[in-house]
Amino acid sequence: MIAIQHVTMQLVAAGQTVTILHDVSLNIPEKQMVAIVGPSGSGKSTLLGLIAGLDRPTSGTIWLNGVEITGLREQAMARLRLANVGYIFQSFHLIPTLTALENVAVPLELAGDPQARQRANEVLQAVGLGHRVSHYPVQLSGGEQQRVAVARAFACRPPILLADEPTGNLDSTTGQQVIDLILALHRDLGTTLVLVTHDHNLAASMERVITLRDGRVESDQPAYLQPRDA
C-alpha cells in the first residue's frame, strides 16, 4: 500500500544544507494502523507530507497503491491524491468562507460526484454534525472544526488516511472523541491509517509504532510494546 525506499529530504537554510530525513525505508501494508512518533524536529510531519505527495524528497522513492509518486507531475499527483489520500491537518485547514457542508463537499465535487452535497451531508451526519451543516468554521468549536476536517478527509472514502497531530489543538476529552471517530471510520471503511502524534496513549491504540529521531528510524515495533500514560 505504502512503500518508502531510501528517502532523504534536505533543505537549504541560510546557505547551509539541512538534512531532515536520512535514508528512511518503510513498508506499510493495506489497512494497517500506524503511528509515527518522536521528538519535535525529528522529521515526522515532513515524512507524512512526502507520503501525501505534498512535497518531493531529495532522493529515494515513494509508492502509493502501486504508483511511484516521486516522479509524478503536480497535476497527476493531485489526481492520484484525490482518489487515494485523505489528509487531516492539525490546524483544521477549513475554508473560512464555506459552510461545514460546503467544506466537506469540496473533494467530492473535485472528484466529479454528482451527489456531492448529499454525500457531504451523510458524512457530517456520521460524525455527529448533522445539526451544524450550515455553520461556518468560525461558528464551530475546535472539536467541531476537527470533526468537519475528519469528514472531509473521509468523504471520498480514500484507501489511505494521513493525520498530522489530529488532537494537537484539542483538549483531552475532545481529542479522545476525535480519535474514537477516526478509529470507527477506519474500521468501517478499512482505511490504511498513518498518523503523527506526541500522545503515547494514542500511539498505543495503533497496531504499529514507528519512532523517528534526528530524521532516522530509531525503532519500528508493535504498539503493544509502547508505554501508556498513567
- Partnered with residue 85 across adjacent β-strands are 160
| Dihedrals phi, psi of 136, to nearest 5 degrees | -90, 160
pLDDT score, position 5: 97
pLDDT score, position 89: 86
pLDDT score, position 2: 96
pLDDT score, position 174: 81
pLDDT score, position 13: 82
d(C-alpha 92, C-alpha 34), whole Å: 21
Q: Where are the beta strands (DSSP E) in 74-178?
A: 85-88, 160-164
* pLDDT, tens digit only, all 230 positions of the chain: 899 999 999 998 888 999 999 999 999 999 999 999 999 989 999 999 999 999 999 999 999 988 999 989 999 999 999 899 999 988 889 999 999 999 999 999 999 999 999 999 999 998 889 999 999 999 999 989 988 999 999 899 899 999 998 888 888 888 888 888 888 888 888 899 999 998 888 888 899 999 999 999 999 998 876 666 54
Where exactly are the structural domains of the chain?
Answer: 28-57+71-225
d(C-alpha 44, C-alpha 211), whole Å: 9
d(C-alpha 108, C-alpha 122), whole Å: 12
CATH of domain 28-57+71-225: 3.40.50.300
d(C-alpha 26, C-alpha 162), whole Å: 15
Please give the helix or strand (H or E) that residue 48 lies within, else none.
Answer: helix 44-51
Q: What is the pTM for the complete model shown?
A: 0.89
- Partnered with residue 213 across adjacent β-strands are 216
